Amino acid sequence: KAGVTQTPRYLIKTRGQQVTLSCSPISGHRSVSWYQQTPGQGLQFLFEYFSETQRNKGNFPGRFSGRQFSNSRSEMNVSTLELGDSALYLCASSAQLDTQYFGPGTRLTVL
Amino acid sequence: SQQGEEDPQALSIQEGENATMNCSYKTSINNLQWYRQNSGRGLVHLILIRSNEREKHSGRLRVTLDTSKKSSSLLITASRAADTASYFCATDRQGGSEKLVFGKGTKLTVNP
């Protein structure tokens, strides 16, 4: 099976812009989770989608949002970008409740 | 917020030696997982241990879990240069709103 794919792999934006990141889970996986990784805060959970519904949400401002489509693909959106949003954004999919399989990540740089 | 704390933060060993990393967490868990990350890339799942298990093996990896002490350890035996990476523990908290809560990781360097 193909692994989790994320597009784009690298992105440069300026403050105030918005960005959309995409994640395609492993075939058959219905749960998709998003994480933000920064040197200062480490890996932090953003949200989880299951069957097109947000099932869990981390402690991030409303500028961070996501959605999941009927084919389990997911997108996350960050509006009004701030410098502190520069990070590696990781997507993970899982079939059951346990093991998560991560994609390669999208490196977002906000200038 | 971080649930887990890995110890040590950095570890440097020679090829062939064993590497032990520890993880402590704060609240009751359903399971604990260990992941490896090479230089800012995606995370690779290594092993999952459930709260009712005490020890698990996978190849050169051995994971222990002590729920009474809220701690886990990852042992990599006969380390290789290719094991150089950051290692993270992640907990699936009981009643938690997060999917997984990660520690800050241990950076392992295996010198050839």
- Per-residue pLDDT of B39-92, as tens digits, reads 878 899 999 999 999 999 999 999 999 999 999 999 999 999 999 999 999 998
Q: Report whether A81 contacts A17 (CB < 8 A).
A: yes
- Contacts of B8 by beta carbon, 8 Å cutoff, 6+ apart: B21, B22, B106
Say how far apart CA B98 and CA B33 lie, in whole Å: 14
**Residues B23 and B74: beta-carbon distance below 8 Å:** yes
Which position has the higher pLDDT, B4 or B89?
B89
Is the CB of A44 less than 8 angstroms away from the CB of B104? no
DSSP assignment letter at B97: S
What is the mean predicted confidence (pLDDT) over A3-11? 96
Is the CB of A98 less than 8 angstroms away from the CB of B2?
no
Q: Cα(A75)–Cα(A108) distance, rounded to whole angstroms? A: 14
CA-nearest residue of chain A to B29? A98
Q: Which of B42, B48, B103 comes nearest A90 by C-beta?
A: B42
| pLDDT, tens digit, 9 for 90 and up, residues A43-97 | 999 999 999 999 889 999 999 999 999 999 999 999 999 999 999 999 999 986 6
With 90 as the cut, is the pLDDT of residue B108 above it?
Answer: yes
Higher-scoring residue by pLDDT: A96, B23? B23
The residue among B98, B104, B106 with the most chain A CBs within 10 A of its CB, best to mutate, is B98
Separation CA A27–CA A16 (nearest Å): 35
Looking at residue B4, its pLDDT comes to 67
> What is the per-residue pLDDT for A99?
86
Q: Which residues contact A40 (CB under 8 A, 6 or more apart)?
A: none
CB atoms closer than 10 angstroms to residue B11: 18
Burial tier of B79 (Cβ tally within 10 Å: 0-12, 13-18, 19+): buried
Mean pLDDT, to the nearest integer, of B22-51?
92
Residue B93: its pLDDT value, please? 81
Q: Do A43 and B44 touch (CB under 8 A)?
A: no
Confidence of residue A6 (pLDDT cuts 50, 70, 90): very high
Chain B residues in contact with A57 (beta carbon < 8 A) = 97
Average pLDDT for B106-110: 96
Tell me phi and psi for residue B87, to 5 degrees.
Answer: -120, 130
Taking an 8 Å cut-off on Cβ atoms, the answer to whether A45 and B105 are in contact is no
The token duo for B80 is: 């290789």
